[in-house]
Amino acid sequence: GRFVSAQVSPGIMPAILHELLDQRTATKRLMKKAGDEERLFLDAKQYAMKILLNSFYGYSGYARARLYSLALANAVTSFGRENILRTKKIIDDIGSVYVLDGEVIFRDALPLGKAAERCFGLSVVYGDTDSVFVRLQPTGPGTGAVSLNDAELIGRKIAETVTASLPEPMELVFEAFARRGIFLAKKRYALWVFEPMGEVWKDRIKVRGMETVRRDWCDLTSKTLKTCLELVLKEGKVEEAVEHVRAVVLRLKNLDLSRDPEILQDLTLTRRYTKSPGSYKNKQPHIQLVEKIKERGGSVPGVGDRVPFVIVQGKRGRKNRELFVNRAEDPAYALEKNMLLDTDYYVEKQILPPVLRIFESFGVGRDSLCTSRGQSSLFSFGPEASKPAKQKSLFDF
């Protein structure tokens, strides 16, 4: 057999990819007009399509696939990198832009005798597989902070210029403007973004690769992370975010359920009860709790239900130390019996690990989050206080 060109007969895989890409583009367009609840549904839908689109790369590189082609798999990554590098070079070559009479003009195209109203330097701060983040740096006299309108004008102009150099159906689209962002590592960042929604702009915290909600986290962890991100990104107040974590840690260390019963719901974890206890190879906290409830003659959750539980203190000591899996307890029972919760577990395993991923990039260490306030500046935390952070993570745009 032999191949024919796409003009004669489009291939099976390209046809499927084109259809999925068109559907994803249409879904993302609907997201701009949707309400919060519908937006979540559409976001999950477009993300599912993204996974499907990306799966063709893995499929083509799988030796047992019917349409296996290692050359095709290698081409996907090769062309992807080539296009993102080309995009970066185009933007770097532009260097700076002027805004004049509501239009964006490149540096070498400013009409003679014309004075630009505003000037902005351009620099690529981050590039991903299918996206690029460009920093707008106001320059020149009388140029203040970047306005949303200027950001959209410049973003659309850059997108139009880059798209002209990309092969069809690829295009670069202006999606949002970020006032401030944290970049921790590749594919791990958080941004305070403003997105055009028709005639208005809507802001939100956009997080990638840094989980803010996980099933194995309690609500207090998610709430603490959300507050920290809002303080850092929306207000630029890193020290206040650190103080918030300290307050949460202090509240946990001094926890008394008889005086602070409302925290119980925020400390409750849940796991799905998927099969009978005897079917589990290893002991699980929620399964051990089901057995306890059964022994007490209580109402046992059914298979498929989520089992709520808290972690209580157990027996201490080297020989008699109680296993973690045996320390799960029904929240209502723990409150009724005024049981002591394992606050060390909540601090060390729930609160600190996710927030440290954010704060360590600012030179804030674990000890600083567990001690009372006494530091005076951002980089005065921990034993590495005299050393600058390896990576500048917080960008103002």
Q: Quick check: 137 and 154 in contact, CB under 8 A?
A: no
Residue 384, pLDDT > 60, answer: no
Q: Give me the residue spans of the domains in the chain.
A: 10-68, 70-175, 262-340
User: Which residue in 339, 341, 343, 369 sits closest to 252, CA to CA?
Assistant: 343
What residues contact 382, with CB distance under 8 A and at least 6 apart? 363, 364, 365, 366, 367, 368
**What is the pLDDT at residue 375?**
43
Write the pLDDT tens digit of every residue in 165-222.
Answer: 998 888 999 999 999 999 888 888 999 999 988 788 999 999 888 777 777 889 999 9
Q: How confident is the model at residue 393 (pLDDT cuts 50, 70, 90)?
A: low
Residues 263-280, buried b or exposed e (16+ Cβ, 10 A)? bbeebbbebebeeeeeee
Task: Provide the H-helix boundaries in 127-174.
Answer: 148-163
Cα–Cα distance between 69 and 59 in angstroms, integer?
Answer: 9
Q: How confident is the model at residue 383 (pLDDT cuts 50, 70, 90)?
A: very low
**What is the pLDDT at residue 328?**
95
Residues in the chain: 397
CATH 1.10.287.690 fits 10-68, yes or no: yes
What share of the chain in percent tops pLDDT 70? 89
Fold of 262-340: Topoisomerase I; Chain A, domain 4 (1.10.132)
Q: How confident is the model at residue 244 (pLDDT cuts 50, 70, 90)?
A: very high
Q: How confident is the model at residue 58 (pLDDT cuts 50, 70, 90)?
A: very high
Q: Quick check: 273 and 307 in contact, CB under 8 A?
A: yes
**What is the pLDDT at residue 204?**
92
**What is the pLDDT at residue 88?**
93
Write the pLDDT tens digit of every residue in 257-294.
Answer: 889 999 999 999 999 988 777 777 788 899 999 999 99
Write the pLDDT tens digit of every residue in 349-375.
Answer: 999 999 998 898 888 998 889 876 544
Write the pLDDT tens digit of every residue in 3-23.
Answer: 788 888 888 888 999 999 999
Cβ count near 284 (within 10 Å): 17
Cα–Cα distance between 249 and 16 in angstroms, integer?
Answer: 51
Cα–Cα distance between 343 and 348 in angstroms, integer?
Answer: 8
For range 228-232, the mean pLDDT: 95
What pTM does this model have? Answer: 0.77
Cα–Cα distance between 311 and 334 in angstroms, integer?
Answer: 9
Structure tokens at 351: 């609160």
**What is the pLDDT at residue 381?**
35
Q: What is the mean pLDDT of the chain?
A: 86
Residue 392, pLDDT > 50, answer: no
Lowest average pLDDT, out of 34-48, 111-125, 196-210, 298-312, goes to: 111-125
Residue 140, pLDDT > 90, answer: no
- What is the SS3 assignment for 363? coil
Residue 98, pLDDT > 50, answer: yes
